[in-house]
Amino acid sequence: MKDVFKKPEKQPQKIRVMFGRISKRYDLLNRLISLGLDTRWRSFLIKVAQLPDMGTVLDAGAGTGDIAIEMKKEKPSVKVIAADLTSEMIAVGRKRRFGAEVGWCQADAMELPFSDALFDAVTSGFLARNVADMDMMFREQIRVLKPGGRLVCLDTSPVPDNIFKPLVLVYYRLIIPIIGSLISGERDAYRYLPETTLRFIRPEAMAIKLKEAGLIDVKYRRFMFGNIAVHWGIKPD
């Protein structure tokens, strides 16, 4: 089938404006589009991050704080910093329950305003496919990560070649834009988001990138018929 979609643009300013427009309905749409399964993926991310007591963790590209707030709820002793490019997302996150217990910072994921080796863990959810330079993003995350600390990345994956592929493609390219348009009024944003998924690198390639960036003991686990993956690795001592 001919691909009628343009390659998604990932200019930081355009990304910031787009996510700003959908910020108020972002959490609701995540629950609907993922069929409520996104909470399980985030719980697994937090589990493999192995947050230490009294540690400090950065959630990069935090959006409205789903991961950051859940980490704070699970381990109140951990200092959680949520960084995101979009001020509107941060404003929504601050107003959420437990949002005031998280430290918020507006920052570009490719130029983090933190000193080297500051965090015991660095996490991200649905960030990698939205940046212009994923290699630079990972280098920055590893730079601010302490030796022995864990980097954990949750993101979508291209649709695997299996019996579910035709149905998943229809869901991504037809159903998601319709749902997004009806609830948020932003059809273009919910055309962009599925397309970044379909054009994203496969989990095996992501694991290679993490190793090339300098992590060791890199692993990943797939979810939702292979359409979601959580990767993690350790910064060498």
pLDDT digits (tens, 9 = 90+) for 115-173: 999 999 999 999 998 898 999 999 999 999 999 999 999 998 888 888 888 888 888 78
| 132 contacts: CB under 8 Å, gap ≥ 6 | 10, 11, 12, 110
Q: Is there a contact between 112 and 60 (Cβ–Cβ < 8 Å)?
A: yes
Provide the percentage of residues in the chain whose pLDDT is more than 70: 89
Query: Residue 90: what residue type?
Result: I
Q: What pLDDT does residue 146 have?
A: 98
Q: What pLDDT does residue 37 have?
A: 82
CATH topology of domain 12-23+37-158+202-234: Rossmann fold (3.40.50)
* Structural domain boundaries in the chain: 12-23+37-158+202-234
pLDDT digits (tens, 9 = 90+) for 169-198: 888 788 887 877 777 777 677 777 777 777
Q: How many helices (DSSP H) and strands (DSSP E) are in the chain?
A: 10, 7
* HEC readout, 100-137: HHCEEEECECCECCCCCCCEEEEEEECCHHHCCCHHHH
Predicted confidence band of residue 3 (pLDDT cuts 50, 70, 90): very low
Predicted confidence band of residue 5 (pLDDT cuts 50, 70, 90): very low
